[in-house]
């Protein structure tokens, strides 16, 4: 099970682009990279998932370099409502015994 490392916390300002990087040096061939967002007093919710290169949806972009040992979640033009904890997870989608480890995540604080 690949372990991930991400910053404990980050601050940014409204309207800016925010990039949160996650390290996963021992990622396996079949592993996918998934990001979740959690607001206070709510359960986490899925944001984006990718395997390689770049994935974009209406919420965020995910950049994965060729060696896949890290990934970057990019949030364009953040607002105060993007203040949340962001979790990076790595694991095999096909292996039901591959336990997901959420860890402590990155606490993102958006300032006005």
Partner 1 sequence: DVKVTQSSRYLVKRTGEKVFLECVQDMDHENMFWYRQDPGLGLRLIYFSYDVKMKEKGDIPEGYSVSREKKERFSLILESASTNQTSMYLCASSLAGGVDTQYFGPGTRLTVL
**Which CB sits closer to partner 1, 101 or 111?**
101
Are the CB atoms for 108 and 7 separated by under 8 Å?
Answer: no
Q: How far is the CB of 98 from partner 1 (least distance, A)?
A: 4
Kind of pairing, strands 9-13 and 106-111?
parallel
* Residues forming a β-bridge with 93: none
Assigned token pair, 22: 């996650």
Residue with tokens 């359960």: 43
Where on the chain is the footprint of partner 1 (CB under 8 A)?
31-32, 34, 36, 41-46, 49, 87, 89-105
Q: How far is the CB of 85 from partner 1 (least distance, A)?
A: 8
**Which CB sits closer to partner 1, 29 or 41?**
41
């Amino acid at each position: 099970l690949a372990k991930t490392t991400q910053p404990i916390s980050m601050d940014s300002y409204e309207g800016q682009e925010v990039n949160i990087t996650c390290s996963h040096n021992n990622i396996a061939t079949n592993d996918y990279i998934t990001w979740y967002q959690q607001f206070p007093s709510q359960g986490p919710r899925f944001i984006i998932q990718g395997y390689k290169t770049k994935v974009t949806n209406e919420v965020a972009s995910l950049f994965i370099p060729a060696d896949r040992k890290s990934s970057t979640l990019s949030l364009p033009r953040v607002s105060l409502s993007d203040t949340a904890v962001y979790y990076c997870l790595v694991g095999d989608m096909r292996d039901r015994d591959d336990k997901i480890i959420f860890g402590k995540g990155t606490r993102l604080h958006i300032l006005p």
